[in-house]
Amino acid sequence: MTRRITFIHTADLHLDSPFTGLEHLPESIFKRIQESTFTAFERVIELAAKEKVDFILIAGDLYDDEDRSLKAQLRLKKQFERLNEEGIQVFIIFGNHDHTGGNWVHIQWPENVHIFSDRDVECIPFVRDGKVLANIYGYSYPTRSVTENIVYKFQKRSEAPLHIGLLHGTASGTEGHEPYCPFTIQNLLEKDFDYWALGHIHKRQILHRSDPPIIYPGNIQGRHKKETGEKGVYLVELAEGGKSAYRFVPVFDILWNEIKLSVNEIAAVGELYDHIRAVKEQQRRNGSALLTIMLDGASSLFWDLMDQDHLDELAQILNEEEEGKNDFVWIVSIQHQIVPSDDFFSSSYISKDFEQILDHFHQFDEAMGPLYKNRLFRRFFQSFTENEKEELIKEAKTMIYYELFKQEWKRS
């Protein structure tokens, strides 16, 4: 008879995240946002009970910082006790945010919770009905910065039919993240495990689809405007012989989303207001959300919308009706990448010079050279991702449109 197990793979809970920068929101909405990480984790527990899984794997960063709040620990303990009543085990490693070198109030965990050592890679067996069905291997961060490749310390033991690795780290080639516990996919494949449960990267990614699956589930609840889209966990089934099945299950409470809205056919601010309002109502059908609206295209509204105060006022008006709603859709910001309509450029005597300036923006690193040499800048910023470079270039282009053409527009 083929032996099989089912489990939930999650990571990066960041319980009790402070959601800095959103304190100005209405109290009822801000409290809902503050609770969202806890709500998402409760949904993980409910999913585990519903699916009757054998265990849950948590691949690091359960807490938002090294001095784990007592609130987060007690809320976590309560959920683990629910799992204990269901006979569901929990296997945990700590990551760079909640490393074991922090200072916190220690509490006693229920007997179903297994925490991996911070001294070396440890193997903990999963036992069901007196039989070892899986060996689970993991390592907890002793300090915030663990920069060595520890994969070589994962040594497969032979007494179990299935083998699972828990690792909080950065895959080679990942941009925009500190290289904590760096590894390559080949490093993991060489271990001949049946599944690699990764953590640290908040964007959901499947690095290797099978034999074995190597997966980042992402975090369970977006915390700022760059963590857009559905957030959740993976429900996994493993069986002897390399057979595996897994599916993503959303558990987030509040969706962060960026919506691009074309203004090509919009000629008046009142019409723009109606379009954004319609976007909000469409989003509301899927639950609560925090939206960034990105206006895009060519429009005669360019000059009206260049003033950020106008955009902020428009967002404020659109948000007036949200307080007290069960499913709120709050506009965090309205931004734009719009340009003046084509008829304006056709009459401009400096359009050729303008195109030459735009061509210069392709040399991003050259243009940023003086800033890279600044010691204070290097302390906080190692490099820009390609997406960040594109965003900065778009913002710079928009500013040039405004500065080069505002005087020409006033003359016309």
Of 286, 258, 295, 277, the closest CA to residue 394 belongs to: 295
Instruction: Give the C-alpha separation, 226 to 347, whole Å.
Output: 39
Query: Hey, what are 384's tokens?
Result: 């820009």
Q: Is the peptide bond before 212 cis (omega within 30 degrees of 0)?
A: yes
Query: Hey, what are 344's tokens?
Result: 């304006």
Domain definitions of the chain by residue range: 4-250, 255-411
Domain 4-250 sits in which CATH superfamily? Answer: Metallo-dependent phosphatases (3.60.21.10)
Report pTM: 0.85
Query: Hey, what are 371's tokens?
Result: 């800033």
pLDDT tens-digit readout, 151-188: 999 999 988 999 999 999 999 876 656 789 999 999 99
pLDDT tens-digit readout, 268-315: 999 999 999 999 999 999 999 999 999 998 888 887 887 889 999 999
Query: Hey, what are 153's tokens?
Result: 């310390």
Whether the per-residue pLDDT at 346 is higher than 60: the answer is no
Q: Please state, as a whole number, how many other Cβ atoms lie within 10 Å of the Cβ of residue 8.
A: 26
Mean pLDDT of 344-364: 57
Identify the three-state secondary structure at position 378: helix
Share of the chain above pLDDT 90, in %: 71
Instruction: Give the C-alpha separation, 405 to 412, whole Å.
Output: 10
Mean pLDDT score across all residues of the chain: 89
